[in-house]
Structure 1
Amino acid sequence: MAGLLLAAGSGSRLGWPKALVEFGGERLVDRGVRTLREGGCDPVLVVLGATETEIDGVTTVRNPGWSSGMGSSVRAGLDALPPTVDAVLIALADQPLITPDAVRRLLDTRGEGARAAVATYRGNQRNPVMLGREHWSTVYALAVEDVGARPFLRTYSHLVTPVECQDVSRPDDIDTPEDLERLTGLLEQT
């Protein structure tokens, strides 16, 4: 299954592009790629926009419409997936406490027949999200402005397998310097 890491944002509230933010000794983009790889994703694609950067061993996808929001990154990433890929796991670079264990759990549901799955935390849907190819066109059509797969997950909830990940992962976002400081503290406690 392919991994798709969305890392195109400028980090306007943070002060610099999130992909380049150092967290736990590595850039968020590198941490996200490592998480997807260790979780079992191959190939891994990274959608960039506000900044360009070198990332070893991945396909980078340039999203010229990155400033319009996450929806354009979802669409750019789906467009770039190889035709041999029949499912993708989508993750966000600004959620550095997502673990390879959470990725593996979602991939396991695919092996058990799920065609769409979402990580949940105490019952709340967050990221990452796994989507079989048959759902990509619907997700593509619904991914607009700063909205990714959320409308698909809500509208087609009967098709989506929830996967509880609270015991192995955290979906906290880094949006501000305070978030970065708080999550760095959480990382140091583990």
Structure 2
Amino acid sequence: MRLPVTGVLLAAGAGRRMGMPKALVRAADDTPWVELGTRALLDGGCSEVVVVLGAAAGTARDSVPDHVGVRTVVAPDWATGPGASLAAGLRALDGETVACVSLVDLPTLPVAVVRRVLARVDGPDVLCRAVFGGRPGHPVLVGPAHRAALVEAVTSDPTDRVAGAWLRRDGVVGVDCADLWDGVDRDRPDRSDPSPVE
């Protein structure tokens, strides 16, 4: 039987290059990026989504969709680095759930990419990620067999590069999605794309 998959949307950062926390950013049509990211994960096949907040969490909660399958957690130590947010999200999951990790600064993440990555769920030891022309990206699937080790790694050093290095060391498998999307995150205001790609 296929394991359940829970989306983990990381939306805790201060967004210094954006000029504001990305959990507060809205597309040109006024849709919050948090809503776009959550919708892509749900429509792509996740049974629920955990949105990880940090910077401006009180205000950002208003942007999280009011949906039975969506809940929020706050990473109290989010400012120490993205690993702290990832750890908070992974700790919020039930034992046999596969984590499908994505970022709030991917507002145009196509549902088709999520579906392609989720199609690789084949057991508790699944470990794979979307790649775009050989460049690693998101979503990232982390099976329950790997979650504790990844949490330990990013907790010991929550800086930006630790999770990627851990994934490579532990044999993450790439899922080519370059035909579906460019995989580029939007970390500056002038790179924001207002509409999601289906």
Q: TM-score range with shorter-chain normalisation?
A: 0.7 to 0.9
In structure 2, what is the equivalent of residue 168 of structure 1? 180
Q: For residues 45-81 of structure 1, give each alpha carbon's deviation from its aligned partner in whole angstroms, at most 9, with x where no partner exists.
A: 0000002223212110011111111100010011111
Match of 1:29, SS? helix
* Residue among 125, 139, 151 paired with 2:150: 139
**Equivalent-residue separation in structure 2 for 1:76 and 1:189 (angstroms):** 29
* Residue among 4, 13, 20 paired with 2:8: 4
User: What code does the residue aligned with 2:22 have?
Assistant: K
Point out where structure 2 has 5 or more consecutive residues left out of the alignment.
Answer: none
In structure 1, what is the equivalent of residue 138 of structure 2? 127
Post-superposition shift, 1:148?
5.8
Point out where structure 1 has 5 or more consecutive residues left out of the alignment.
Answer: none
User: What code does the residue aligned with 1:12 have?
Assistant: R
User: What code does the residue aligned with 2:6 have?
Assistant: A
In structure 2, what is the equivalent of residue 65 of structure 1? 77
**Equivalent-residue separation in structure 2 for 1:149 and 1:78 (angstroms):** 12
Give the aligned length: 183
What's the RMSD between the two structures over aligned residues?
A: 2.1
Match of 1:22, SS? coil
What is the TM-score of this pair, normalised by structure 2? Answer: 0.84
Runs of 4+ in 1 over 3 A off after TM superposition: 111-114, 187-190
What is the TM-score of this pair, normalised by structure 1? Answer: 0.88
Matches within 5 A, 1:81-120: 81-83=93-95, 85-111=96-122, 115-120=126-131
**Equivalent-residue separation in structure 1 for 2:135 and 2:144 (angstroms):** 24
Percent identical among aligned pairs is 36
Label 1:65 to 1:151 Cα distance change in 2 as closer, same or farther (>3 A).
same
Query: Is 1:75 aligned to 2:87, yes or no?
Result: yes
